[in-house]
């Protein structure tokens, strides 16, 4: 916004506009912004208000609620306010619980029933590092090639991160936890860019799914394992209950749910039994 003196001043987010904005965000994706996050929203969105040619945040809210382009603006908003931090092989202890605990347990049970299909969902997968990590681990176990059908779904609410995930090319920083052997085995390096080899990429399909929306979460059914790490932390209890309930419905009977280290299902649901595998806590659908 330009003042009478021609000075460029950034739009300020007043309390009332902040309340309306956070209500809208909460309704769309379940993320709750506390009072202390007002400045964060202001700094992330002030340029956008300008770029839209709007005078202030009140006009921006009007746009978000009534403009013909409101849906695409809401998509832009969600793309730009959520935290997408992730990396390959994040939280090694949990991954050990997956490939040395949960997967062998599932395989043993499935062998008895002659069912040789493994379905895994990385919900809130951001730029794809998590589902691709799981794909590499299953390849290492020989599962993806040993007569088993492996289906991994990566999903997120943000189109931007899904676009990057599908491109499957990463900078070294994303791969800081990968070993030189893993880099060599599963990536092709060109200067500073690492592209996943097709045998990994082909195991993962990406979809846009809002964890708050049961119509969308129902698109991925009968999963043996769901990873939903480092997103519940942004939700209040009501949103956590909704997301966890939706994932419960998308798990096969006896399926497993991994949540982030700093996250808990305490007071959220009693539909899961906590079980320990290789030093990590996993929730099993009862």
Ligand X SMILES: C[S@@+](CC[C@H](N)C(=O)[O-])C[C@H]1O[C@@H](n2cnc3c(N)ncnc32)[C@H](O)[C@@H]1O
Q: Which residues bind ligand X (CB under 6 A)?
A: 29-31, 82-86, 90, 124-126, 130, 156-158, 161, 210-212, 229-231
The CB-of-90 to ligand X minimum distance in angstroms stands at 5
In the complex with ligand X, the residue whose CB is nearer, 11 or 224, is: 224
CB of 41 closer than 8 Å to CB of 22: yes
Residue 88 to residue 204: CA distance in whole angstroms: 14
Which residues, 6+ apart, have CB-to-CB distance to 39 below 8 Å? none
In the complex with ligand X, the residue whose CB is nearer, 11 or 200, is: 200
In the complex with ligand X, the residue whose CB is nearer, 38 or 90, is: 90
CB of 223 closer than 8 Å to CB of 121: yes
In the complex with ligand X, the residue whose CB is nearer, 18 or 164, is: 164
Nearest position to ligand X, beta carbon: 86
The CB-of-129 to ligand X minimum distance in angstroms stands at 6
The CB-of-247 to ligand X minimum distance in angstroms stands at 11
Q: How far is CA 155 from CA 31, 206, 237, 259, in A?
A: 17, 5, 22, 15
In the complex with ligand X, the residue whose CB is nearer, 11 or 280, is: 280
The CB-of-107 to ligand X minimum distance in angstroms stands at 24
Residue 97 to residue 135: CA distance in whole angstroms: 15
The CB-of-134 to ligand X minimum distance in angstroms stands at 11
Cα Dmax for the chain? 78
């Amino acid at each position: 916004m330009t003042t009478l003196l021609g000075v460029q001043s950034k739009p300020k987010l007043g309390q009332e506009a902040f309340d309306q904005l956070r209500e809208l965000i909460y309704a769309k994706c379940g993320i709750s912004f506390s009072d202390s996050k007002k400045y964060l929203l202001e700094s992330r969105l002030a340029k956008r208000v300008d770029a839209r040619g709007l005078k202030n945040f009140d006009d921006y809210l009007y746009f978000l609620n009534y403009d013909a382009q409101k849906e695409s603006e809401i998509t832009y908003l969600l793309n730009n306010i959520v935290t997408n931090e992730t990396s390959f092989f994040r939280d090694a202890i949990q991954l050990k619980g997956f490939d040395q605990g949960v997967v062998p347990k599932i395989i043993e049970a499935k062998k008895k029933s002659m069912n040789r299909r493994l379905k895994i969902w990385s919900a809130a997968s951001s730029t794809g590092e998590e589902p691709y990590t799981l794909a590499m681990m299953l390849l290492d176990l020989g599962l993806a090639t040993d007569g088993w059908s492996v289906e991994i779904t990566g999903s997120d609410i943000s189109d931007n991160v899904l676009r990057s995930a599908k491109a499957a090319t990463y900078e070294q920083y994303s791969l800081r936890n990968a070993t030189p052997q893993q880099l060599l085995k599963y990536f092709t390096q060109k200067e500073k860019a690492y592209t996943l080899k097709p045998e990994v990429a082909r195991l993962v399909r990406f979809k846009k799914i809002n964890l708050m929306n049961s119509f969308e979460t129902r698109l991925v059914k009968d999963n043996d394992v769901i990873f939903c790490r480092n997103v519940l932390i942004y939700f209040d209890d009501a949103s956590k209950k909704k997301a966890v309930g939706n994932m419960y419905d998308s798990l096969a009977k006896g399926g497993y749910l991994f949540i982030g280290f700093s996250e808990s299902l305490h007071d959220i649901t009693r539909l899961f039994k906590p079980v320990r595998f290789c030093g990590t806590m996993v929730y099993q659908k009862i």
